[in-house]
Amino acid sequence: MNNKRGLSDVVTNVLIILLVIIAVGIIWFFVRPTIDRGTGQLQGVNECITLNFEAISCSEDTGLLCGGGVSGEVKCYDVRVRRSAGEALGLSKLRFVFELSNGETQIVDDSVILDELEEKVYNIDYEGAYNSAAVSVAGVLSTGQGEKVCAPVTRVVCS
C-alpha cells in the first residue's frame, strides 16, 4: 500500500506539468498572432537605431561660388557633420533640414555619404530670401517600399 501512495504523487506531478504545458500552448496560440501583427508594424524602425549623424557647426558661406540662382537669392552654408559608429544598411543620402528665420523649413538632400566615424564639411546652398536659423541632419534609407527618413539627432544654430 505504501508504494501506491508514492506512485500517485508522481502521477499527480506529471499531470500538473502536462496541464501547465497545455495551458501555455493554448495561451501562445491566442497571443502569437497579436505579437506577429505588432512586429510587422515595427519593420524598418531598427535600421535607424545605429545610424547617427551629428551636425557640429553651421556657418554662412559668403564665398565667390555662392550667389545667383533663378530668383537672385541663394543662401550658402558650411555644415560640419560627424557620423558615429554604426551600421547603415541602405543609406542613400543625407537630408539637411534648415529652419529659416521666417519659421519655414528648407530641405536639401546630398548624396555624398560619410563613412563610420568620419567628419566632413558640406557646402549646402538653397534658393530663398531668408537666412537659416538652425540645421539638423538625418540619414535617408532606401527600402523596398521607398525611402525612410531617420529622425535627426542634433540641431545646431547657424551663425
pLDDT (tens digit, 9 = 90+) per residue, 97-119? 988 888 888 888 888 888 888 89
Residues 66 and 35 in one domain: no
Mean pLDDT of the chain: 80
Same-domain status, 19 and 88: no
The whole-number pLDDT of residue 32 equals 87
pLDDT in tens, 55-100: 899 888 776 666 555 445 677 888 999 988 877 777 888 999 988 8
- Looking at the structure of the chain, the number of domains it has is 2
Mean pLDDT of the 118-123 span: 89
Span 3-13, pLDDT tens digits: 555 568 888 89
Both 61 and 96 in one domain: the answer is yes
pLDDT of residue 104: 85
Q: In the prediction, which pLDDT does 113 show?
A: 83
Whether residue 78 contacts residue 59, with contact meaning beta carbons closer than 8 Å, is answered with: yes
Question: For residues 21 and 111, what is the distance between their CA atoms, to the nearest angstrom?
Answer: 55
26 lies in which domain range?
Answer: 1-42
According to the model, what pLDDT value does residue 81 have?
92
Cβ neighbours, 10 Å, residue 96: 24
Residues 3 and 21 in one domain: yes
Query: What pTM was estimated for this model as a whole?
Result: 0.65
Q: What is the pLDDT of residue 75?
A: 78
Question: Tell me, what CATH number does 106's domain have?
Answer: 2.60.40
Burial of 81 (0-12, 13-18, 19+ CB in 10 A): buried
β-sheet bridge partners, residue 60: 77
What is d(CA 132, CA 56) in angstroms, rounded to the nearest whole number?
Answer: 15
Sort 40 into a burial class: Cβ within 10 Å, 0-12 / 13-18 / 19+. exposed
> Do 55 and 32 fall into the same domain?
no
Q: Are residues 70 and 121 in the same domain?
A: yes
Q: Are residues 53 and 36 both part of a single domain?
A: no
